[in-house]
Structure 1
Amino acid sequence: MLCTLACAAPAPERAPGQVPEWTLRRSVTIGQPDHPVYGLSDVGDVLAAGDLVYILMRQERTIRVFTQGGEFVRDLGRGGEGPGELASPAMMGWRGPETIWVSDVRLRHRFTFLDVATGDAETVSFRVDATAYREGGMTGLAGMGVRFLAAPRRSSAVSVAGTVREPIVVADAAGAVRDTLALRRIDGDDFAVITAGIRSDGRAYRSHPLPASDMLGLAPDGSGAVIVDRRSWTGSGSAEFGVTRVDSWGDTLFHRRFAYEPLPVPAGYFDREIEQELEDPSGFIVDRREYAEALRAFYERRRYFPPVTSVLLAANHATWLAGPEEGGERGWLVLDPSGSTTGSFRLPADSYIRFATATECWVDELDDFDIPYLVRYDIVP
């Protein structure tokens, strides 16, 4: 079974200074302002298989299908709340080579399965039978045939109390938990303040802008998960982060640790965060001075940026990790299926990698007018 992040680790590797630097060559761009088909709005998950690319259009409540060359093919699925319809699609992935699953936020506990060849749809209700967790709350969900990987989310009040362990479970189509694959560390990223009228207990919860909890990535085909131990450096000892990859049966595929150069939080960073909080127009804060002092004490626990800010599991079972923003860019590190470093590169900080293989990646980008485009980059090692 699983060797969790608490197990003894090998000596850390260096990352990414001695890793080959890749070049990403822009090859295809999808997007055209105000066009009914080529215009993109709220781009969600992206999948690619063969000559086709599937884009989850959350606002339009459909999956838009293009060729790898950027030509529109058709839409899969339609908006609505009936069987086979999408009300508020959140995530998508593969259920076998011919079927895409889509999870729905508004229609809780529901999956829609879409046949990519015929467009036929099937709806399955899904609810994890784990009463210790908040009903319907999921930090991640991935379908694999009639089994599901799920990370039920505890209420914020639990993480306020300190470090807790959040399970990644396997459930059947009825929602019954069949196994626990791993435990993810949740490390007090929230704090409570006295408020007026927001919650029955008179409190509201705020999350740290530089979270230290383990990051979770789920393979879109349900083949496994990756957990990143990315606690920020405290100023003493070695600066390291850990990566553990498990398959859908709970076997540990690799567990490695990597040394990195800590990036200090610049002066004034938290002051800006506090100022934005105090400008919140909701008006729930009872004592703004007390609230600002509580925020400052909360933020003082982080003097360095977390080493990993984003994680993606690629179609070729590689693990892609993004670092903190620096100079308007983020550095990316790619691990092969065994966990060895295989490549690194940099992208603008506001770019979001939606899908990747061994030879390409699809990136969600915004232009100077915040108009979204989906761009294919070919990887040149």
Structure 2
Amino acid sequence: MTILLAICALATVVIVGYRLVFAPARGPSHQPDNPSMVFETGWESARDEGFLLFETRDVSGGGRPPVDVVVFMDSECPFCALFHETVQKIATDTLPVRVFYVNHPLDYHEHSTPGARAADCAHELGFFREWIDSVYRNQQSLGLMGWGTLAIEAGIRDTARISHCAREEGTTRDERIATTLKLGQQLGVEGTPTVLVNGWRYGTPPSESQLRTTIAEMVADRWTRALPMLASKAISAEVKPVWTIDGVGQAGLLPWRLDDVAIGEAGEVYVAQPWDLRIMRLDSSGEVLWQAGGRGEGPGEFSAISAVGVLDDTVFVSDSDQGRVSLFSTDGHFLATRRLAAKLEMQSVRDGLFITGGWPVVLLEGGHAIAEPHLLGAPALPEAGVQQEHSRIPLLRIDSLGMVIDTVAWREVSGAIVGIVRGNRLFQVQAPYEGFSKTAVMPNGQGAIIARWTDPAEGLVTITRRDMKGDTVFHRAYGYEPVPLTRRAIERTLQELSVFPTGEQEAPEGPEFEQALREGGLIPATLPPITALAVGRDGSVWLRREDRGEENVVWTVLSPSGEVQDVVALPRRQRVAAATRSFFIAVEENAFGVPSVIRYDR
């Protein structure tokens, strides 16, 4: 008897230990009263790839559409087996519900991938529900019971086919599993089970009562959970500058564009100086440690500085005029210069405007790069009035020979040109409030970020991250509170309009352009929610919010996975140029166009 009790106790420890050790590291160990929920756009793709477990009918006769419950599951995950019991309890409900299971095998479970293949096969045979019931009922015997034995218990006659499916590798079945794994990554799946209800993803699997409540509220159209909001007011501690380098200060040379600032792995800062075509390295106190480069066509010299960045322990400088990249060590020694430009044939993007070639903006491993094409020509402009314009500029991944491999993302340029004739002269300005998207390349070489926003009536901002192949890594939706466009903001914007040609005494002034903008319907009722986009070396996303014409503008900071992380206010003329987890660099141009570089600690 003592021996028998000891064996039973050991078995209990093994079973409990199995559940603890093999549960997902991020899986739930308890059910919170109010689990956080995030809406995931594109969730329908996962539903369409899933297996229908069951569907209940609306007995009220009201013809209400069903609520879709999507569950990312793993055959060997013990919490999936527990949640399957919860799902089974709503199978007899009178509310319209459809439940879909999506394969998401975890790589540290020995039997998960064979189980996913077998589930796919059972679905083809029309026995998915019976199959998954059998698997979860006998989960602790996986690896001891054969797949054919589980098939028999599920009522499947063709047991040999199930066993063959579980073993067979490299088939279209594996391709479907890879697709659902990728969809799970895009939808924020970090463990199993992950549950979405009409696109709303629970932070942890819901209890039976929570699931029933959510379904009932959605069926009755009483669902009130809001999207995560992008706050437009500073709520974090005030940030203060650590150091500032004026354009005519320590180095005596001017930075050029916001893109020409980079942060290295050790936190060092590199700034381009196009006045004499050099780059300089700054330490944490703002001291210039070294300068390199210079104007010319020799090794380590430039005709134009198009981008500066850091790959591991190498600083790269892209020269769009010469179609090459120069490499330096982090202590300023010249290493090499090599030809690297996109081999892209000339293409029209709109009337009179073409793209061709392209210079690297980010250097990647293996000599590859992300490149942005050259813009050539001049768009056809109106003699007077308004002309709408829309262009899509590809961001390209190229190999070491400049051959295009993939399109990582598209930079969408939308806007309008307003022309006014004064005497015999045509004067033009770019409409200030146009555009519904921003795109930025990630400086760590992991892809690109695209921010889009919808009509103010919908109040929706989406953030999409694409990897180097152009595939979606995640797609997040946020709500925002539209900010009315005030008279003060309009007047300040009109004062800052850049009129072409410049310096003409007879040029129209703000009121005339305002009238033309209004006649063209180009002064909206609300401000664009996003006015600039930057991406940190750590993958953080920096969104410059509405420009209200005030002294400061708010920046909303998202974590690399898309959660709202921080909200800071910066002077209106400053733009975030580079960032890490501990600090960020801003560039500011004064009223005379003279820039300064400022470091802020976070």
Q: Normalised by the shorter chain, which TM-score bucket?
A: 0.7 to 0.9
Q: What pairs up with 1:123-138 in 2 under 5 angstroms?
A: 123-133=338-348, 134-136=354-356
Q: What pairs up with 1:30-45 in 2 under 5 angstroms?
A: 30-31=244-245, 37-44=250-257, 45=260
The answer on whether the counterparts of 1:208 and 1:299 sit within 8 Å (CA) in structure 2 is no
Q: Alpha-carbon deviations, 1:74-113, whole Å to 9, x = none?
A: 112222233421122132112x2122222234x1533323
Task: Look up the SS of the partner of 1:210 in the other structure.
Answer: coil
Q: Alpha-carbon deviations, 1:300-336, whole Å to 9, x = none?
A: 3533221111111101111111112232111011111
The answer on whether the counterparts of 1:41 and 1:372 sit within 8 Å (CA) in structure 2 is yes
Structure 2 equivalent of residue 59 of structure 1: 275
Alignment counterpart, residue 99 of structure 1, candidates 294, 297, 314: 314
Structure 2 equivalent of residue 378 of structure 1: 601
Alignment counterpart, residue 323 of structure 1, candidates 515, 537, 545: 545
Residue 409 of structure 2 is aligned to residue 176 of structure 1: no
Does the C-alpha gap of structure 1 residues 256 and 89 become closer, same or farther in structure 2, counting only changes over 3 Å?
same
Does the C-alpha gap of structure 1 residues 135 and 69 become closer, same or farther in structure 2, counting only changes over 3 Å?
same
Structure 2 equivalent of residue 89 of structure 1: 305
The answer on whether the counterparts of 1:212 and 1:230 sit within 8 Å (CA) in structure 2 is no
Alpha-carbon shift at residue 18 of structure 1 (Å): 9.6
The answer on whether the counterparts of 2:263 and 2:309 sit within 8 Å (CA) in structure 1 is no
Q: Alpha-carbon deviations, 1:154-206, whole Å to 9, x = none?
A: 87459x6665544333222333221123344443x13475989xxxxxx9975
The answer on whether the counterparts of 1:231 and 1:307 sit within 8 Å (CA) in structure 2 is no
Task: Look up the SS of the partner of 2:487 in the other structure.
Answer: coil
Residue 373 of structure 2 is aligned to residue 147 of structure 1: no
Structure 1 equivalent of residue 470 of structure 2: 250
The answer on whether the counterparts of 1:307 and 1:324 sit within 8 Å (CA) in structure 2 is yes
Letter in 2 for 1:41: L
User: Scaled by the length of structure 1, what TM-score is found?
Assistant: 0.78
Residue 114 of structure 2 is aligned to residue 114 of structure 1: no
Structure 1, unaligned runs of 5 or more: 197-202
Give me the whole-angstrom Cα distance separating, in 2, the residues matched to 1:323 and 1:14.
13
Residue 440 of structure 2 is aligned to residue 217 of structure 1: yes
Q: Alpha-carbon deviations, 1:121-150, whole Å to 9, x = none?
A: 313241341432524586983222422223
Aligned CA RMSD, in angstroms, stands at 4.1
The answer on whether the counterparts of 1:156 and 1:190 sit within 8 Å (CA) in structure 2 is no
Alpha-carbon shift at residue 264 of structure 1 (Å): 2.5
Which structure has more relative contact order (CA 8 Å, sep 6+)? It is: 1
Residue 403 of structure 2 is aligned to residue 190 of structure 1: no
Residue 284 of structure 2 is aligned to residue 76 of structure 1: no
Does the C-alpha gap of structure 1 residues 18 and 339 become closer, same or farther in structure 2, counting only changes over 3 Å?
farther
Letter in 1 for 2:287: E
Give me the whole-angstrom Cα distance separating, in 2, the residues matched to 1:276 and 1:41.
21
Q: Alpha-carbon deviations, 1:329-363, whole Å to 9, x = none?
A: 11011111111111111011112222111111122
Structure 2 equivalent of residue 266 of structure 1: 486
Give me the whole-angstrom Cα distance separating, in 2, the residues matched to 1:139 and 1:371.
26
Task: Look up the SS of the partner of 1:272 in the other structure.
Answer: helix
Give me the whole-angstrom Cα distance separating, in 1, the residues matched to 2:504 and 2:454.
32
Letter in 2 for 1:216: T
Structure 2 equivalent of residue 200 of structure 1: none
Alpha-carbon shift at residue 39 of structure 1 (Å): 3.5
Letter in 1 for 2:368: R
Letter in 1 for 2:270: Y
Task: Look up the SS of the partner of 1:31 in the other structure.
Answer: strand
Task: Look up the SS of the partner of 2:520 in the other structure.
Answer: helix
Does the C-alpha gap of structure 1 residues 56 and 332 become closer, same or farther in structure 2, counting only changes over 3 Å?
same
Residue 563 of structure 2 is aligned to residue 340 of structure 1: yes
Give me the whole-angstrom Cα distance separating, in 2, the residues matched to 1:138 and 1:215.
20
Structure 2, unaligned runs of 5 or more: 1-40, 45-198, 201-225, 349-353, 382-386
Letter in 2 for 1:251: D
Percent pairwise identity: 23
The answer on whether the counterparts of 1:13 and 1:258 sit within 8 Å (CA) in structure 2 is yes
Higher deviation after alignment, 314-323 or 135-144: 135-144
Letter in 2 for 1:72: V
Q: Alpha-carbon deviations, 1:18-50, whole Å to 9, x = none?
A: 9962432432x1436755x54452354222331
Alignment counterpart, residue 12 of structure 1, candidates 222, 227, 234: 227
Letter in 2 for 1:93: G
Give me the whole-angstrom Cα distance separating, in 2, the residues matched to 1:208 and 1:368.
20
Residue 534 of structure 2 is aligned to residue 312 of structure 1: yes
Q: What pairs up with 1:193-208 in 2 under 5 angstroms?
A: 206-208=429-431
Higher deviation after alignment, 5-14 or 37-46: 5-14
User: Size of the alignment, in residue pairs?
Assistant: 362
Task: Look up the SS of the partner of 1:24 in the other structure.
Answer: coil
Does the C-alpha gap of structure 1 residues 311 and 258 become closer, same or farther in structure 2, counting only changes over 3 Å?
same
